């Protein structure tokens, strides 16, 4: 392994991780500076005030494609979402496995599994790029950050796919590209839409709390009326 | 234009945005990933598939860009990268107004369909509030808000008119059930129930007050209405004005506490229920000490407790239910109305999608008071019209007065053979009180010549309509003259000095709104009562964007005989004894 690759796999990643963590701390501090609205709800016939249930339902919503019309009607898109994010998880995992537990990649089935997941995620990334570019509705809501983040992730998947076997017999360029891109991501992510996973717990928490208080979440699908 | 030349209003909007931002809103403003999954959850998009500017994410971005530019570091440092931007001119605020008020009914359907939990409706409401705070709003919103601030209810109903209507409805009820004790109590202290209503009921639908009174009477309820602070609607929800929202809610809560009421029952109104029950205590920062419930819960409770008996065969027409956005998506009221419908209707058919996934009636979010967006609203109503048509029902029931108006408009526009009603009307119809009601109600006998001695001019260009209105009114004893355009109506009104002029708005010749203004401006016609009978939703300009006195009554075509006579009697203050 060259010094450059070693530096990219270790020192560079660690610096980038610390930077990302620092920016995230600042970001969360910034978010918490805004006041959280209070909930005052009177008693009434509908005493189904269940903020906790609402919050849990809201957080779990993403894993229940049947619970939202938008995912139920677009199962193909939902499937893409699942694969794409599994690819992200696998690629992030890979960025730790290669430098800190490379022996895991001597397991053939694991390598195959990672390559399948990341390879399909890369394909989904391509589909998403095409959708974002070709649909007028998607173009209308897209910013340069949206295009850049998506293309960058797709390219990252591509190099992650190549990096999975952790094989340098044909050169180090693919591993180097993967780790340089990973480091870039760590620095770029807090400033881009990719940081949405940081906000997800907050947005879903507050929506779930509000809807739970009002008895909307968990959504009713035709069960018996609540006791009056 | 440089930022230092920003208009005063634009600067105020930016400054106030900072004060309005809560953690929830910021989450919704930073959390959107532009995945586009919300796009086809919006009825505006579905009805305008070629126009991406209706997409919820696109509309949210018009607000989000300002937030990013001024309050988020990515937008401050790299504005072009994240499409951040500011507002500089009043014209840009007007554009924002057309989005916040004209392209969204705050129905919250996209919010529930966002994988990230971005609540666009809340963000849009904030934008409305910011615009309203600098006076940038549809004219109708300004008028209605003003009435609610100054007169205490959003339709500007005067106290004497309200009390007269209650008295009149009391008399109707007494006649109907033949019980002199069947009255609508006002300002009674220490009652179990204080009943709050929508001013639309006083102005255009007094029958619903009488129906509710009949149910309370049948249940033997200890109830009252308040002489003031009786309006449970709250335009603050639509205008985004939390101050108005808080003041209106507080007015109602304080009245209930002053009367010592144990339970506030809110009549069927989606935004009224949401404002009073769910949002009001937060806007007013008021810890409410009494119970609150929708009249749906009350009626259901009466049936469950055996306090009223209902016979579903009395409502035999096929019925479907339209979930109001505010009731279903913001308050979780989805099963109770269905349970009630199953008890009072013989043929209930579900609409699809339904409950929290139902589509907006398209009249929500105050849209009915914004006549400048009527055409856009009715185009977007195509989705709802299809939903209604597919049910095959003859009656659509809804628990919201806004929805009643919105659905009535779209039913007329899309020529659906349906009528709109509310649960209170169906329950009243299904009430079993045989031993107290005579076989032939005396009121019907009395109504035959109830308009005797009254002179009425019917102005309409449709011969069938003229014949129908004329024959109904003459059957009830009125002397009827007809006019086929606005000028003829004007001439007849001046010459005959009638008690009442019924005015269609779509007639040849001069604009009827102009004729209306002339009539209102004539001192010798000061006593002339005018009732609009129209199929044109634009007439709401006369109600909401008036300079002079509004019409004395308003009816949607097609008009049923009972509805027409009831309206005429109310306008002419004719009581039956």
Assigned CATH for B3-137: 1.10.1060
| pLDDT mean across residues, chain B | 91
Q: If you measure CA to CA, which chain B residue comes closest to A64?
A: B115
Residue B273, SS3 per DSSP: helix
A135 vs chain B: nearest CA distance in angstroms? 10
Q: What per-residue confidence (pLDDT) applies to B576?
A: 61
Output the DSSP codes for B80-91.
Answer: TTTT-----SHH
A193 vs chain B: nearest CA distance in angstroms? 6
Domains, chain A: 3-18+69-195 (1.20.950.20)
pLDDT digits (tens, 9 = 90+) for B123-164: 999 999 999 999 999 999 999 999 999 999 999 899 999 999
Q: With contacts defined as CB-CB under 8 Å, which chain B residues touch A61? A: 115, 117
Q: With contacts defined as CB-CB under 8 Å, which chain A residues touch B28? A: 203
B319 vs chain A: nearest CA distance in angstroms? 17
Q: With contacts defined as CB-CB under 8 Å, which chain A residues touch B82? A: 143-145, 193
| Per-domain residue ranges of chain B | 3-137, 159-304, 312-430, 442-571
Q: If you measure CA to CA, which chain B residue comes closest to A225?
A: B335
Assigned CATH for B312-430: 3.40.50
Between chains, do B118 and A146 touch, taking CB under 8 Å as contact? no
Say which of A31, A137, A146 has its CB closest to residue B52: A137
Q: What per-residue confidence (pLDDT) applies to B436?
A: 52
- The answer to whether the B159-304 and B442-571 domains have the same CATH topology is yes
A79 vs chain B: nearest CA distance in angstroms? 13
Between chains, do B300 and A228 touch, taking CB under 8 Å as contact? yes
pLDDT digits (tens, 9 = 90+) for B369-416: 999 999 999 999 999 999 999 999 999 999 999 999 999 999 999 999
How remote is the C-alpha of B427 from its chain's centroid?
A: 20
CATH class of residue range B442-571: alpha beta
pLDDT digits (tens, 9 = 90+) for B229-277: 999 999 999 999 999 999 999 999 999 999 999 999 999 999 999 999 9
Between chains, do B24 and A36 touch, taking CB under 8 Å as contact? yes
Reported confidence tier of residue B96, pLDDT bands at 50, 70, 90 = very high
CATH topology of domain B159-304: Rossmann fold (3.40.50)
Q: With contacts defined as CB-CB under 8 Å, which chain A residues touch B61? A: 141
Q: What per-residue confidence (pLDDT) applies to B575?
A: 67
pLDDT digits (tens, 9 = 90+) for B518-532: 888 888 887 888 888
Residue B439 above 70 pLDDT?
A: no
Q: Give the whole-number percent of chain A exceeding pLDDT 90.
A: 87
Q: Does the CA dihedral B358-B345-B388-B44 come out positive or negative? A: negative
Q: If you measure CA to CA, which chain A residue comes closest to B275?
A: A41
Tokens at residue B386, please? Answer: 């299809």
C-alpha–C-alpha distance, residues B371 and B311, integer Å: 41
Output the DSSP codes for chain A.
Answer: --HHHHHHHTHHHHHHHHHHHHHHHHHHHHHHHSBPPP-----BS-----HHHHHHHHHHGGG-GGG-HHHHTTHHHHHHHHHHHHHHHHHHHHHHHHHH-GGGGG-HHHHHHHHHHHHHHHHHHHHHHHHHHH-HHHHHH--HHHHHHHHHHHHHHHHHHHHTT---TT-SHHHHHHHHHHHHHHHHGGGSGGGHHHHHHHHHHHHHHHHHHTT-SSPP-S-PPPP-
């Amino acid at each position: 392994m060259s010094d450059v690759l070693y530096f990219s796999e270790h020192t560079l990643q660690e610096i980038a991780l610390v930077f990302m963590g620092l920016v995230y701390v600042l970001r969360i501090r910034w978010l918490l500076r805004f006041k959280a609205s209070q909930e005052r709800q009177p008693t009434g016939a509908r005493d189904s005030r269940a903020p906790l249930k609402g919050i849990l339902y809201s957080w779990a919503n993403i894993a229940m494609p049947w619970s939202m019309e938008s995912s139920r009607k677009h199962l193909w898109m939902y499937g893409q979402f699942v694969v794409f994010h599994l690819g992200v998880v696998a690629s992030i995992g890979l960025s730790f496995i290669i430098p800190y537990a490379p022996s895991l990649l001597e397991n053939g089935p694991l390598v195959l599994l990672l390559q399948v997941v990341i390879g399909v995620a890369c394909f989904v990334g391509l589909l998403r790029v095409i959708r974002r570019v070709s649909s007028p509705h998607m173009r209308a809501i897209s910013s340069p950050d949206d295009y850049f983040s998506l293309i960058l992730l797709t390219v990252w998947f591509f190099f992650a796919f190549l990096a999975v076997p952790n094989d340098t017999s044909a050169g180090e360029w693919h591993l180097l590209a993967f780790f340089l891109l990973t480091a870039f991501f760590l620095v770029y992510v807090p400033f881009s839409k990719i940081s949405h996973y940081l906000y997800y717990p907050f947005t879903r928490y507050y929506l779930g709390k509000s809807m739970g208080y009002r008895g909307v979440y968990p959504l009713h699908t035709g069960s018996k009326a609540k006791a009056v | 234009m440089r930022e230092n030349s920003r208009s005063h209003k634009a600067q105020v909007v930016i400054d106030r945005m900072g004060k309005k931002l809560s953690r929830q809103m910021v989450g919704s403003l930073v959390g959107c990933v532009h995945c586009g999954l919300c796009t086809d959850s919006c009825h505006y998009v579905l009805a305008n598939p070629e126009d991406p500017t209706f997409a919820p994410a696109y509309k949210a971005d018009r607000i989000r860009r300002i937030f990013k530019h001024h309050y988020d570091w990515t937008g401050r440092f790299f504005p072009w990268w994240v499409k951040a931007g500011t507002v500089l001119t009043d014209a840009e605020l007007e554009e924002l107004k057309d989005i916040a008020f004209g392209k969204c009914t705050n129905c919250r359907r996209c919010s529930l369909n966002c994988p990230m939990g971005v609540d666009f409706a809340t963000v849009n409401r904030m934008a409305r509030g910011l615009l309203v705070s600098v006076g940038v709003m549809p004219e109708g919103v300004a008028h209605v808000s003003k009435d609610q601030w100054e007169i205490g209810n959003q339709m500007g109903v005067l106290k004497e008119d309200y009390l007269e209507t209650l008295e009149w409805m009391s008399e109707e009820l007494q006649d109907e059930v033949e019980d002199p004790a069947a009255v609508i109590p006002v300002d009674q202290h220490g009652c179990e129930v204080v009943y709050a209503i929508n001013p639309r009921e006083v102005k255009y639908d007094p029958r619903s007050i009488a129906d509710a009174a009949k149910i309370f009477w049948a249940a033997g309820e200890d109830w009252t209405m308040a002489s003031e602070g009786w309006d449970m609607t709250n335009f603050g929800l639509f205008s985004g004005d939390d101050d108005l929202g808080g003041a209106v809610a507080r007015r109602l809560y304080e009245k209930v506490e002053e009367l010592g009421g144990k339970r506030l029952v809110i009549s069927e109104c989606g935004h009224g229920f949401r404002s009073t029950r769910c949002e009001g205590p937060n806007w007013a920062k008021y810890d409410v000490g009494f119970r609150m419930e929708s009249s749906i819960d009350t009626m259901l409770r009466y049936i469950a407790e055996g306090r009223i008996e209902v016979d579903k065969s009395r409502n035999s027409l096929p019925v479907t239910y339209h979930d109001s956005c505010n009731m279903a998506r913001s308050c979780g009221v989805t099963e109770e109305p269905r349970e009630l419908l199953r008890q009072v209707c013989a043929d209930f058919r579900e609409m699809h999608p339904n409950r929290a996934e139902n589509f907006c009636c398209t009249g929500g979010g105050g849209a009915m008071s914004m006549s400048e967006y009527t055409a856009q609203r009715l185009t977007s109503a195509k989705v709802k019209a299809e939903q209604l048509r597919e049910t095959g029902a003859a009656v659509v029931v809804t628990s919201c007065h806004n929805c009643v108006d919105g659905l009535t408009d779209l039913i007329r526009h899309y020529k659906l053979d349906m009528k709109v009603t509310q649960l209170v009307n169906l329950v009243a119809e299904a009430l079993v009180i045989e031993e107290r009601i005579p076989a032939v109600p005396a009121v019907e006998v009395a109504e035959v010549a109830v308009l005797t001695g009254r002179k009425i001019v019917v102005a309409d260009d449709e011969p069938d309509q003229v014949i129908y209105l004329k024959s109904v009114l003459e059957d009830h004893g009125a002397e009827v003259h007809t006019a086929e355009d606005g000028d003829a109506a004007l001439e007849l009104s001046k010459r005959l000095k009638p008690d009442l002029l019924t005015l269609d708005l779509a007639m040849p010749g001069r604009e009827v709104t102009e004729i209306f203004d002339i009539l209102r401006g004539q001192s010798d016609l000061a006593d002339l009562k005018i009732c609009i009978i129209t199929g044109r939703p634009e007439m709401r300009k006369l109600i909401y964007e008036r300079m002079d006195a509004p019409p004395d009554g308003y009816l949607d075509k097609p008009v049923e005989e009972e509805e027409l006579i009831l309206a005429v009697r109310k306008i002419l203050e004719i009581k039956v004894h």
